[in-house]
A and B are shown apart, each in its own frame.
Chain A
Amino acid sequence: EDQVTQSPEALRLQEGESSSLNCSYTVSGLRGLFWYRQDPGKGPEFLFTLYSAGEEKEKERLKATLTKKESFLHITAPKPEDSATYLCAVQANDYKLSFGAGTTVTVRA
């Protein structure tokens, strides 16, 4: 059974204080690892897909990296508008995703 664990559950940052979120996974045959951002009361918004160890993707202040057992989402010099819940999901050899419970990030001005 695919398992995805995200840590920490919650992260409070000062504006400009860089940090990282962790997503550890066990899956048979990783087809892709996905990061989403979710704002309160809204659906998840797609951020990145990673599909092989060593791959990195960047978008503004966010950078996602992938190893064979985990992925990190680095937030560099965050701003209050980066406050959201970040979700990680893995796709095995089918068309279904398994999601972690998410990390809620709060950035204070």
Chain B
Amino acid sequence: DAGITQSPRHKVTETGTPVTLRCHQTENHRYMYWYRQDPGHGLRLIHYSYGVKDTDKGEVSDGYSVSRSKTEDFLLTLESATSSQTSVYFCAISVDSGRHNEQFFGPGTRLTVL
């Protein structure tokens, strides 16, 4: 258990509304990630963070923004949700073991945009 929690766990919202998902970790890991998982696509990286206020885009970042004001929290915001953003969202942290970095995942947030 990497001490990762996500909130909310389930959310239903309407097109055009803003949505913020929260990822919280308890072990002060430097790297945090947001992925989305859709059938047939596997996990795709949205954004990641390598420290407080240090973030960068992943492969599917359009329509999403992130913020990290504290080491333990990484927020994912959909400024104006669309139906194509219906997905399961996973947060992950990276444990740096020197040569490579295992990532450990949270339990996920299932988001439905109507």
A residues with a Cβ closer than 8 A to B are 4, 31-32, 34, 36, 41-46, 49, 51, 87, 89, 91, 95-97, 99-102
Contact pick for A34, options B41, B44, B103, B107, CB 8 Å: B103
User: A100–B99 contact, CB under 8 A?
Assistant: no
* Given A42-B107, A51-B99, A96-B58, CB of A101 within 8 Å of CB of B45: no
Interface size of B as a range: 20 to 34
User: B43–A95 contact, CB under 8 A?
Assistant: no
Cα distance A87–B41 in the bound complex, in angstroms: 11
Question: Could you tell me the distance in whole angstroms from the C-beta of A77 to the nearest C-beta in chain B?
Answer: 27
Residue on A nearest B35 in the bound complex, by CB? A99
Q: Which residues of B contact A87 (CB under 8 A)?
A: 42-43
User: B45–A43 contact, CB under 8 A?
Assistant: no
User: A99–B100 contact, CB under 8 A?
Assistant: no
Cα distance A96–B31 in the bound complex, in angstroms: 10
User: B100–A32 contact, CB under 8 A?
Assistant: yes
Interface centre among B33, B94, B100 (most CB of A within 10 A): B100
* Given A31-B99, A32-B100, A91-B101, CB of A101 within 8 Å of CB of B58: no
User: A99–B43 contact, CB under 8 A?
Assistant: yes
Contact pick for B40, options A36, A99, A101, CB 8 Å: A101
A-B contact pairs, 6 of them (CB 8 A): A4-B42, A32-B101, A43-B106, A44-B43, A95-B50, A99-B44
Q: Which residues of A contact B58 (CB under 8 A)?
A: 96
User: A97–B45 contact, CB under 8 A?
Assistant: yes
Known: A34-B102, A43-B106, A100-B42. 16 other contacts (CB 8 A): A4-B42, A32-B100, A32-B101, A36-B105, A41-B108, A42-B108, A51-B99, A89-B43, A91-B100, A91-B101, A95-B50, A96-B48, A97-B45, A97-B103, A99-B44, A101-B40
